[in-house]
Structure formats: C-alpha cells, structure tokens
Amino acid sequence: MLDSKILLVDDEKSARYGMRRALASLGGKVIEAANGREALGIAEKEEPDLIIMDIAMPEMTGFEALEKLCQMPSPPLIIMITAHGSEKVAVEAMKRGAYDYIAKPYEVDELRMVARNALEKISLERENRRLAEELKKKESYGEIIGASDVMQEVFDRIGKVSQTDVAVLIEGESGTGKELVANEIHKRSHRSGGPFVIMNCAALPENLIESELFGHEKGAFTGATAQRRGKFEIADGGTLFLDEIGDMSLNTQAKVLRVLQEQRFERLGGEKTIQVDVRIISATNKDLAAATKAGAFREDLYYRLKVVSISLPPLRERKGDIALLTNSFVEMFSRKHRKRILGIDAGAMRVIHDYPWPGNVRELSNAIESAVVLAGGNTLRRDDLPPEIRKQAVGAFGDPFSIDATLPFREWKKQMVETAERLYLIRKLEENDHNISQTARALDMHRQSLQQKLRELGIDVKDLQEE
Ligand SMILES: Nc1ncnc2c1ncn2[C@@H]1O[C@H](COP(=O)(O)OP(=O)(O)OP(=O)(O)O)[C@@H](O)[C@H]1O
Ligand SMILES: [Mg+2]
C-alpha cells in the first residue's frame, strides 16, 4: 500500500491532523483538502485511491462532493465520516456511492481498519486489472496471434532467445508462421536496428546458392560481370534467416558451417577474407533430425543451428487459435479491401473450425481474404468460403473423435455434442432425400426450427446433395 494516495477532507485542521496520524502506519501519500470544493479540484489533479471525508462541512457539503466525485471517470473509494447517531445519513451516503462510513467519535484503530480494508480492496482490484490485461495481451505477441498453450510457450521462447545471439532453428509445417517468428525474434533483439536478410535455400541451384550467400568477385564465373555482395555480408550487424535449410547440399553445408564457426568467409573467386557479425536463424519444414541420421544433413551443422529450437505446431493441433486468427484476418482484410465486414456467422465459423487446414495459417489467411473480397453482405457466411474448404469440412463431420482433446472440458463437450447432432441430422436428411419439410416431420420438429438448427451447425443441404 506504499504506492497508495489518500485524500483527507475536513474543514477542521485538527481533525485532519488526527486522521493523518491515525493513518501514518499504513504508508503511502496523504494529502488534505479543507472543504468539498477543494476536494474536487485536488481529486481531479491528484487522482487519489481513497478519500476520507467529513459529511458536515460549510461551502460544499460532503454529500454534494460525494456525488460529484462518484461521477469521475475512475472514481476513488470514499469513506464518509458522519455525526454520532446519524445512521440514516450514513445509509444515504452509501446509497449515493460511498464505499463505507465511520461515525464520530471514532477510535483511531477503527479508522485505520476501515482505511486498510479499502486500500486492500483497491490493490486487489488493481491486481485483477493487471492480470486481465496480461491475459488479453497474450492473445498475440507482436504480430503473432495465438492463445493456445503451445503458442504461449512459443512466445515465451521468442522472448528469451531474442535477448541473446544464439542460433535458433524453427521447425514447422508449411504456413505455420516460421518466417513471422524469425522476424519477431530479430525485431526484439539488440540487432533490430540492423538488417533482417532472408535467404531461401530451396529456391536456387547449388552454384547460385553459394554466390547468393557469399557473394562473388567480378569474373568468378561466367555471368559474374560485376562484384556482388552476398547475404552474409548484407546481413552484417543484423540477422540472417536461412529458410528451407534442409534443402542445402552437403557441399554448401560445409561452407556455411565454416562461416558459423569463424564468422568469416571469402567471396567466390575472391582472396580477401571478410569478417561479419551475423546472427543466424534457420527454418525447415522437413524432419532435419531424420535427414541427419540418413546422412543428408551434416550432424555438426545441425547442432550448431539448433542451439535452441522452436517448434510450431500445425493449426489442426491448436484449434483453439482458429477463431482468434479468423477474426483478426477478417478485420485485417476488410480494412485492406475497404469492405465493411463486421464478423462471421456461426455456420461459417463451424466449417472453418472443422476443416483440417493442411496449409496451416497461410491457407486460413488466404481463405479469409478470398471470402472477404467475395462477400456480398456484411457478415461472412458459409457460402463465401472457398468451395474446397466447404466440401472437406462436410467430410470431416464423419469423425467426432478428431476433436482436439487439449481443449477445456466444457468446450470439448460442446463440440462433441454438436458433432453428434450434426451426424444425426445429416443421417436424417439423407434418409429423407434431403427434403427439409419431410425431415422436419420425421424429427417431429418445426420446419423453421430445423432450418435454424442446420444453420447453426453449418450444415448446407446443397453441399450434402452434391456429395
Ligand atoms: N500465428 C500467426 N498469427 C498471425 N499470422 C500468422 C501466424 N502464423 C502465420 N501467419 C501468417 O501466415 C502466413 C504464413 O506464415 P509464414 O510465411 O511465416 O509461414 P512459414 O512457416 O514460413 O511457411 P513456409 O514453410 O511455407 O515458408 C503469413 O502471412 C503470416 O503472416
Ligand atoms: Mg517461410
């Protein structure tokens, strides 16, 4: 409670003095005002956490001041001091927003206890607000979105490795966000003022990769018409991101290993040794451990690159992040394409949730961008989604046990029930030739209720008929 601020309001100086002494042991800062009007001015400027105020004062009474104080944007807690035997007034004060009251004449201990309770409540509320904010923050980390436990771990690792210069290997299927993570590490590191250079090792044949990495002198090979700096040089003072590292030939691997060991190299066809200060982050969507065992990847290089590894799980293994990512992409692409899409309906969200997303976050992002561009209304509907996603999601209804069992029980149960409902209704629709009225009769349901239910569950009879 050392950082708390208490405002004492009483027209009698001696009374303020008495209170100040009573509260001294609580710590924190104590300020004073001699009447209600003064209290208002000071409260606005100083934003005290707690006000202890006499109810009977000339000028502006404690009551009037209380009402005005309670209208402040984040009002302080207020304890009123009432005259002996005026319980009614005290109750009225509480009704008008006072936190507590204390009747005159009071014991010093009594005042101290009431004030301490109030300060404890304040610090608890402050802590809750802080926790709530922290929770909210953890839905993203820089530009990386994700609330699942695995992503929280990823955020934690990024935070730690960015304080150092260690080599980081990022593993994950295509589209899981490896480049995004590499970039975030760079941005949070002391190298953020330097360059972030990307080298895609899969895109080029071996001889070109080396020239790209190390640069070349004029005339080093046919076509080398001018001297050229390589990525290692360009990344000096910054971070070099070696993407698709698993596609590098053994020959190039040896050369890269040397740079990592010595931080120096020569340009192709050059004699001069160039010294650089580069942090390496690499990424792969292959099983590099297996490649190492099979002899396709150098073991010594593997261990050098993987001082710390960060593994990005496929999206289907963190279904809890799907809604979060979807909503954020809807917002982002509506802004980008100047559309007024306010959200996504339950049926569409259901399809998105059930689809296995083999292309991971990139595929989700592309699907939402296309849906936003094509959407007619201001909510995304099932029909706005790319057909291959709608179709596959229907197929995925067949397996209720594909539900992510890492979900909280309640959410898991909800999904199990919904999946079971879907399977049941799809079966009934099939038995009734996909005729809604007939199916509704068979289920002893109203036609409209059935339609509503189908919409909620994301079942589109048209899609079923096409199968
Ligand atoms: N957690 C995430 N939050 C927000 N956007 C993400 C997230 N993960 C990926 N993305 C977005 O998805 C797209 C693909 O991400 P990225 O290029 O980093 O994937 P990758 O793992 O490098 O894929 P590849 O192996 O195919 O190169 C990018 O547009 C990226 O911004
Ligand atoms: Mg990539």
Model confidence pLDDT, tens digit, residues 369-383: 999 999 988 899 988
With a pLDDT cut of 70, the percent of the chain lying above it is 94
379 lines ligand 1 (CB under 6 A): no
259-263, 323-327, 454-458 — which one is most confidently predicted on average? 323-327
Total residues belonging to the chain: 467
Residue closest via CA to ligand 1's atom 16 equals 177
> Which among 365, 366, 368, 369 is the best mutation to test ligand 1's pocket, defined by most ligand atoms within 8 Å of the CB?
365
179 lines ligand 1 (CB under 6 A): yes
Q: What is the pLDDT of residue 135?
A: 65
Instruction: Among the bound ligands, name the one nearest to the CA of residue 170.
Output: 1
Nearest-atom index, ligand 1, CA of 146: 1
The 10 Å CB-count burial string (b at 16+, else e) for 246-261 is bbbeeebbebbbebee
Q: Which two tokens stand for residue 328?
A: 């954020």
Q: Strand 140-141 to strand 77-82: parallel, antiparallel, or no bridges (unpaired)?
A: unpaired
Domain 319-466, CATH number (from 2.60.120.560, 1.10.8.60, 3.30.70.270, 3.40.640.10)? 1.10.8.60
Task: Delimit the domains of the chain by residue range.
Answer: 5-134, 145-313, 319-466
For 408, counting Cβ atoms within 10 Å of its Cβ (0-12 exposed, 13-18 middle, 19+ buried), the class is exposed
Q: Which two tokens stand for residue 330?
A: 């809807």
> Which among 331, 336, 362, 363 is the best mutation to test ligand 1's pocket, defined by most ligand atoms within 8 Å of the CB?
362
Least confident window among 77-81, 199-203, 364-368: 199-203
Give the pLDDT band of residue 395 (cuts 50, 70, 90): very low
Amino acid letter, 35: N
Q: What is the pLDDT of residue 411?
A: 72
Residue closest via CA to ligand 1's atom 13 equals 362
pLDDT at 51 over 60: yes
CA 22 to centroid of ligand 1, rounded, Å: 60
Q: Note whether 201 and 242 are within 8 A (CB).
A: yes
Q: What is the pLDDT of residue 205?
A: 83
Q: What is the pLDDT of residue 288?
A: 93
Q: What is the pLDDT of residue 401?
A: 57
pLDDT at 247 over 60: yes
Q: What is the pLDDT of residue 413?
A: 80
pLDDT at 398 over 70: no
Give the pLDDT band of residue 421 (cuts 50, 70, 90): confident
Give the pLDDT band of residue 404 (cuts 50, 70, 90): low
Residue closest via CA to ligand 1's atom 30 equals 177
Q: Which two tokens stand for residue 435?
A: 């005729």
How many alpha carbons fall within 13 Å on the CB side of residue 316? 13
Q: What is the pLDDT of residues 260-309, one digit of tens each?
A: 998 899 999 999 999 999 999 999 999 999 999 999 999 999 999 999 99
Q: What is the pLDDT of residue 399?
A: 53
The 10 Å CB-count burial string (b at 16+, else e) for 377-395 is eeebbbbbbeeebbbebbe
Q: What is the pLDDT of residues 183-241, one digit of tens each?
A: 999 999 999 999 999 999 887 788 788 899 999 999 888 888 899 999 999 999 999 99
224 lines ligand 1 (CB under 6 A): no
361 lines ligand 1 (CB under 6 A): yes
85-94, 256-265, 302-311, 455-464 — which one is most confidently predicted on average? 302-311
> Which among 179, 201, 327 is the best mutation to test ligand 1's pocket, defined by most ligand atoms within 8 Å of the CB?
179
Instruction: Among the bound ligands, name the one nearest to the CA of residue 171.
Output: 1
344: alpha, beta or left? (left if phi > 0; alpha if psi -120 to 50): beta
Residue closest via CA to ligand 1's atom 10 equals 177
Q: Note whether 40 and 15 are within 8 A (CB).
A: no
Instruction: Among the bound ligands, name the one nearest to the CA of residue 362.
Output: 1
Close Cβ partners of 37 (under 8 Å, ≥ 6 residues apart): 59, 60, 65
> Which among 140, 145, 158, 176 is the best mutation to test ligand 1's pocket, defined by most ligand atoms within 8 Å of the CB?
176
Q: Note whether 82 and 114 are within 8 A (CB).
A: no
Q: What is the pLDDT of residue 153?
A: 92
Residues paired with residue 61 on neighbouring β-strands, in sequence order: none
Q: What architecture does CATH give domain 145-313?
A: 3-Layer(aba) Sandwich (3.40)
423 lines ligand 1 (CB under 6 A): no
Give the Cα separation of 102 and 84 in Å (integer): 9
Give the Cα separation of 324 and 338 in Å (integer): 21
Nearest-atom index, ligand 1, CA of 243: 27
Q: Note whether 420 and 309 are within 8 A (CB).
A: no
Q: Note whether 404 and 353 are within 8 A (CB).
A: no
Give the Cα separation of 248 and 245 in Å (integer): 6
DSSP state of 55: S
User: Do 145-313 and 319-466 show the same overall fold?
Assistant: no
Nearest-atom index, ligand 1, CA of 174: 25
pLDDT at 414 over 70: yes
245 lines ligand 1 (CB under 6 A): no
Instruction: Among the bound ligands, name the one nearest to the CA of residue 363.
Output: 1
180 lines ligand 1 (CB under 6 A): yes
Residue 243 CA, chain-centre distance (Å), reads 25
pLDDT at 462 over 80: no
Give the Cα separation of 382 and 459 in Å (integer): 9
Domain 5-134, CATH number (from 3.20.20.140, 2.60.120.620, 3.40.50.2300, 3.40.50.720)? 3.40.50.2300
105 cis-preceded (ω within 30 degrees of 0): yes
Q: What are phi and psi of 138, to 5 degrees?
A: -75, 0
